[in-house]
Amino acid sequence: MISINATLMAQVIHFLILMFILNRLMFQPIMKLIKERKEYTEKTSNRTKSIEFDTERLKQEFISKENDARKNASEERAEYRGTGMIEATDLVDESRKEVAAIKVKADKDTERVIGRRISA
């Protein structure tokens, strides 16, 4: 049978003292460490999410700028090609006119030389 006497009371008091000491020396520091690690993990997780968000935003911005640059380059290429074609056509027309003028001059010179030989 269980008897309630001073020994039982002493054991209860010793147990409460032990719990108080263990709480102060072990449980509170461990709980504090667990809390700090959890806060650090959450902070790191939030920072990682922020960096991922910024990275995705920068990626989309880069893709957008790249597409704009390609579009502008394509438009400029078409513009330069059109300008080049016009200039080439102008040069060909000018060359044809020069050739025609040289031909007319050569024909006149030839007729003059032939006219001199015939009259001589």
d(CA 69, CA 8): 87
* Residue 71 CB partners (closer than 8 Å, separation 6+): none
- What pLDDT, on a 0 to 100 scale, did the predictor assign at position 2? 67
d(CA 52, CA 102): 73
Per-position b or e across 57-93, b if 16+ CB within 10 A of its CB: eeeeeeeeeeeeeeeeeeeeeeeeeeeeeeeeeeeee
Share of the chain above pLDDT 90, in %: 66
pTM of the model: 0.50
Tens digit of pLDDT for each residue in 18-56? 999 999 999 999 999 999 999 999 999 999 999 999 999
Give ∠ CA 111-115-117 in degrees, rounded to 5. 120
